[in-house]
Each structure stands twice: as C-alpha cells, then as structure tokens.
Amino acid sequence: MARRVASVSDYRALAKARLPHFLFEYLDGGSYDEITLRRNVEDLQKIALRQRVLRDVSRIDLSTELFGKRWAMPVGLGPVGLAGIYARRGEVQVARVAAAANVPFALSTVSGCSLGEVAASGHVPWYQLYFVKDRGFVADLIQRAKAAGCGALVLTVDLAVPGSRYRDSRAAGGGPRRMAQLLSRPQWLWDVAVHGRPLNLGNLEAIVGKGAPLSDFQSWIAANFDPSVSWADVQWVRNQWDGPLIIKGILDAEDALQATAARADAIVVSNHGGRQLDGVVSTAKALSRIVEAVAGQVPVLVDGGVRSGLDVVRMLALGADFVLLGRPWAYALAGAGGAGVAHMLKLIDAEMRVAMALTGTTRIAELNGDVIDRS
C-alpha cells in the first residue's frame, strides 16, 4: 500500500484515487440527494455507548454462530455489484480472503466474476439473488447456487425498480470523456482492463451475452428487473431452495413479519446502502423496532453506514445478530486488492475488541441494549 491505512475512510481515499471516476461514483454514491446515504452513517455514529471500568476484559471472544456454523466474528461481506472490476477478478480475491478469515461472503447476481468462477477457486460463497422478468433464468440461478453448494441464498427484495442516482448520471458518458477518465487511472487499466478480462456480468452471460457493455448496466437493470414481484414469488423461491434463505431489503416491521411468514431463515435490515428510495429511515433507526417485531423468530442481520468495528458493536447493541459490510470491503478491494480486504477485516476485528473492552463486555451475547447510553 502506497500510504499507511488506519481506517475504512483511508481505503475510500485509495479507491477514489485508483478507480476511474465513473466507477468510483457508482460505488460511492446513493440515490437522489443522498439523504439516506448520509443518515445511515450519521445516525449510527450518534449511538452513544456506556463506558465501563474495572472489569476483567482480558479474554474477548468475537466468535458467533449463524446457520449452524461458527464464524470468527459477527461480520460478513455483503453483496456488492461489479466488484469484479474494482480489482483483477475481484470477487475471486474476496472469496479467498473471506474463507481465510472465516467470515461469510455473499456474491452479487450482478458480479463481474460468475458463481462458477468463484466456486472453482475453492471458496464457495453465499449467493445473492435478484428477480428478473425471466423466471426460468431465475430458477436456473437458484439451481446453480444449489449445485455449487452455496451456504445461503440472499434474496434481495428492494429493487423492484432502480433508484434514481444523480451521481451516476453526472459521471456517465462515452467517447473522449470516458477515455480521459480511463487514461487517468493507468494502474487500474493495467491491472483490470488489460489483465483482468473478461469484463462482463459473469452470472448474467446467458441472458445479456458475453459482449454486453458495462456502460449499459443500469439501463439493462431498468429493463429487466421485475416490478411485479410479490410475496408469492418469495414462496416460489422458498419452494425451490431448501438451504438457509435470507431476505435482504427489509426496512419496515410489517415486512419483517411477512418475511418470517414466508419461511425466511433470516432477514437483513437494509435500505440498499441509500441507493434506492432516498429520504427513508436509516438502518440504525429501523433496526430496533424490527428486532422487537420479529422477537427472536429469525436472526436479524443489518447493513448500511457501518464504517468501523465500533459501528459493528453499535449495531449489535441495537439488537442485530450479524452485520454485513458493503462499501468498506469494496473500498479496500479497489484500493489494495485482496490484501486490502484482509487488512480491513483485521481493522474491524481490532476495533471491535477495543470497543468491547471499554464497554466491559467479553462475548458477543453481552452486546445488547444495556451497552447503550440512553441519557
């Protein structure tokens, strides 16, 4: 790494310096005026913790069980689209890192590397699924995930239509403008554009073709994602998938109860990282009431606004069972490849340990509402 990295924000700076402008804006931005994108971060940072002293915190255990497996910590790498072009064969690198760190990794439907390529590396991820209008193709994706031995299916339900992303529109364009952005990032060009081919949507080759230009990515989503999707479609998926089914994109307590009724094995409280409906509540604000509504029927995972191990502790104290990272690992991948993702996870681990020691807790189960200062 060219500079000393001490935090996720440092990796964001590296990613901005390394990625072509349009690609960084896609990763970093949210929808409309990005109110929710900011709320996710700011509302979480406002959660005050109770500092406790003179407790034996010499042995801290971050390990957590989910779906019958013991993970190194209650942190996973959530699905991020196009990560395969943030670094050379990016999702393959991330799968290896996640396996070595013993944390889950969810491969996006719109990844650069296909599930087959990632699984062939020897590290089978969870698989994130979107609905497209061609249900036969969706069924085929489910069967591929089953055949690969994926540990969970992450059904994302908050993208019936894509949000309006001003940053993407401002950064878009072809011809000389796009070429200038590419030429200004020679390291990325050499590592990814030259040596990281093919640059495509690996899981969607059968439906969009191998030569589909990434510049058409958003227009393809708008044309092919299905606004008619309903809870009946969730049942359709449940009937085809007998492994753990995680429903991602829950922001309302009534929807959380619908998800449990649909036989989900877990839910993810998420507003798509502020990339869909702007102005909605942050995940930190939504989390507690959803946890209360679900009342322990299924594990509650959460993402959005997490930028440190301290933020992970805050989310767990608010009632989450597990926390998914999105932009943090993508920034690290773009800034320093797989080594960056591995280092980012070590930072999260270390920051969690400090936060737990200074709140007088030694096990994940102790991170509950008692840790929050409500004065």
Query: Is the preceding omega at residue 198 within 30 degrees of 0, hence cis?
Result: yes
Which residues partner with 245 through β-bridges? 153
Active site residue 343: no
Q: CA distances (Å), 58 to each of 97, 356, 358, in order?
A: 28, 11, 11
Q: Say how far apart CA 234 and CA 230 lie, in whole Å.
A: 7
Q: Residue 61's CB: how many other CB atoms inside 10 A?
A: 12
Q: What angle do CA 243, 247, 250 make, to 5 degrees?
A: 165
Q: CA distances (Å), 201 to each of 78, 142, 214, 325, in order?
A: 18, 17, 8, 22
Counting Cα atoms < 13 Å in the Cβ hemisphere of 373 gives 10
Question: Virtual CA dihedral for 8, 355, 100, 130, nearest 10 degrees?
Answer: -60
DSSP code for 50: -
Q: Say how far apart CA 145 and CA 243 lie, in whole Å.
A: 10
Question: Virtual CA dihedral for 256, 261, 263, 268, nearest 10 degrees?
Answer: 0
Could you give phi then psi for residue 43, rounded to 5 degrees? Answer: -65, -35
Q: Categorise residue 105: left if φ over 0, alpha if ψ from -120 to 50, beta otherwise.
A: beta
- For the record, the structure tokens of 96 come out as 């290896």
| 356: nearest Cα among 304, 316, 301, 299 | 316
162 close to 225: Cβ distance less than 8 angstroms? yes
200 close to 69: Cβ distance less than 8 angstroms? no
Burial of 352 (0-12, 13-18, 19+ CB in 10 A): buried
The single residue of 21, 123, 195, 272 carrying the catalytic annotation is: 272
Positions marked catalytic: 272
